[in-house]
Structure 1
């Protein structure tokens, strides 16, 4: 099964990032906009949970949050940035920053994605 990146197309920042990276990602990933009507979840994970943070399906399991972002940035060719962000102090900071950002956009699950 192909890798799938589940992103929130109702989030303007998310949509801009995915649109910019799509040409580099589509050879590697199927892009799935989970904000679309009719999407209820995938592989036992609900739409509500997926709205909390980004999910990437990798063959038979999910990669979630900052690790999902690092995975698709790597696929998009940002190897040096990913290598830097995987260093312990940078990874810690990136994880905290991602968690803060993800929490601050939790209203997306309710359809209100203003940051």
Structure 2
């Protein structure tokens, strides 16, 4: 089974997962990496997973925007994913995700404001 590793301590991340969960759970196991007992998966540390979202797909990870686009597709947002995969849009999506991920690491006490 595929696994989506997300940070449940981030309010924005949690809100997105809660919104998408009904559509994702038939396809993915949702793993909250903010839990104390979580230390990592398949050789990737919790710290690395906190930097960018990770999705385990059979035998490898999709990371960052690629993971996001994959689970958005599974949730039925195919038109948005198709649009964001167009070369100029994909480039912008990568940059936007990298910016968000860098700022998100500054979350404290669940406050993920940019």
TM interval, short-chain normalised? over 0.9
Question: 2:38 corresponds to which residue?
Answer: 39
Q: Gapped runs of 5+ residues in structure 1?
A: none
Question: 1:77 corresponds to which residue?
Answer: 76
Question: 1:55 corresponds to which residue?
Answer: 54
Per the normalisation by structure 1, the TM-score is: 0.94
Question: 1:100 corresponds to which residue?
Answer: 99
Per the normalisation by structure 2, the TM-score is: 0.95
- TM-align CA RMSD: 1.0
Cα distance in structure 2, aligned partners of 1:35 and 1:43: 17
Cα distance in structure 1, aligned partners of 2:33 and 2:105: 14
Cα distance in structure 1, aligned partners of 2:104 and 2:93: 17
Q: Gapped runs of 5+ residues in structure 2?
A: none
Cα distance in structure 2, aligned partners of 1:77 and 1:99: 24
Counterpart secondary structure, 1:90? helix
Cα distance in structure 1, aligned partners of 2:106 and 2:36: 17
Paired positions, count: 112
